Amino acid sequence: MCNNLLSLLKNENATIGIVGMGYVGLPLAMRYADRFQQVIGFDIVPERVTAINEGQSYIEHISVGSLFAALKKGLKASTDFSRINECDAIILCVPTPLNKYREPDLSFIFSTMEQIQPYLRPGQVVSLESTTYPGTTEEELRPRIEKQGLVVGEDIFLVYSPEREDPGNRLYTTQTIPKVVGGCTEACLKVGIALYQAAVDKVVPVSSTQTAEMTKLLENIHRAVNIGLVNEMKIVADKMGIDIHEVINAAATKPFGFTAYYPGPGIGGHCIPVDPFYLTWKAREYGVHTHFIELAGEVNSAMPLWVVDKVADALNKHKKAINGSRILLLGIAYKKNVDDMRESPSLQLLDLLLQKGARVEYSDPHVARLPKVRKYNFELTSVKLTAEQLALYDAVVLATAHDAFDYALIEQNAKLIIDTRGHFKQPMANIIKA
């Protein structure tokens, strides 16, 4: 089984199936379509499947032209999970959020496994890419697969390879970002390496699926902890009347021993707000309390409320209450120049401001309308920025510093600007750093 599958992968004759056509799955499917003639993208959302098959991109940084090219090369999307049986490789790219208690929610993985289990067969490789705690692949996926009578490492092959997608990053793509791979057995690892060598420039093998799972968590916990540190430094610097961005930029001139991280209104995206809590949850099983990681999480989680307090203080100095004030939120995506709103702190800011009685609107050149997301349903559309429009608001909050914003227009016409990104360098009476 192993040699036959290796041959199919190395000769690019395998059929590749990718489950989950979101920010991770769709770019990966398109990359495999460059190399393999048959690539099937599975999703439970019929609208997504229809859009893909018609060449309509629903992700901003994926162009219609590149999607059409992938379709011509053999990419097809489907909601029919019985076609898993046609696939030699199945890659799972489904969400792994937190529940309301900040505990891992693996329901998407479990429901996906239920859908594909009946169609698994000898000679396949299954790879999980979703971020999760160490042990998930061995403890959760392997028993479900072997329940079908398939022996992992002999009949079927199981690997974990964490996604490293960075939406909107033009320097690093699915092809050029190195891929960490861990297998349940030596044979699984060989197959996993062959699977990803066909699509990415560099594969980094590790000794186990647990190691690969922990690697992904470390990458993002590293960012979360350092962002937590600089967010706390921001509060201290603010109390002292020091511009934290000036401090960071000065410190970054040191050619060794310092890496610049920047504060903001909170943390967002599909990884950094979530991943640390996967490890803290699993660590408790071993009697370990991850104080350092949890403290960083507390600092980062408190940032939206800190920004709202800064908005209230700024309005108060202008003899206005936050209740009843008109506030414009600039940027609803979690980072600049993308349309990705997953776990965006801007959504939390919007919710908190509304709770305090503010009349809030938003402007984002990348998000024309706010769709319903897991926690929120605001039913708002993006406001077009004009001098007249800006003058209507009591305060403007820069939450995401998109390049497309006309900052000169904002600076000249907004009565009060609360800058959470350190974009406005020159001190002015109507600009408050937050």
Return the exposure string of 367-406: e unless at least 16 CB atoms fall within 10 Å of the residue's CB, then b: beebeeeeebebeeebbebeeeebeebbbbbbbbbbeebe
The reply to whether 271 belongs to the active site is yes
> What distances in angstroms separate CA 205 from CA 8, 178, 200, one per listed residue?
20, 10, 13
Selection from 354, 285, 360 nearest residue 329 by Cα = 360
d(CA 314, CA 304): 15
| C-alpha of 279 from chain center | 17
Q: How many CB atoms lie under 10 A from the CB of residue 73?
A: 16
8-state DSSP, 104 = B
- Candidate list 87, 93, 184, 271, residue with the active-site label: 271
For the purposes of burial, counting CB atoms within 10 Å of the CB of 189, is it exposed (0-12), middle (13-18) or buried (19 or more)?
A: buried
Contacts of 321 (CB under 8 A, 6+ apart): 315, 357
Is the four-CA dihedral 132, 136, 142, 144 of positive or negative sign? negative
Catalytic residues: 271
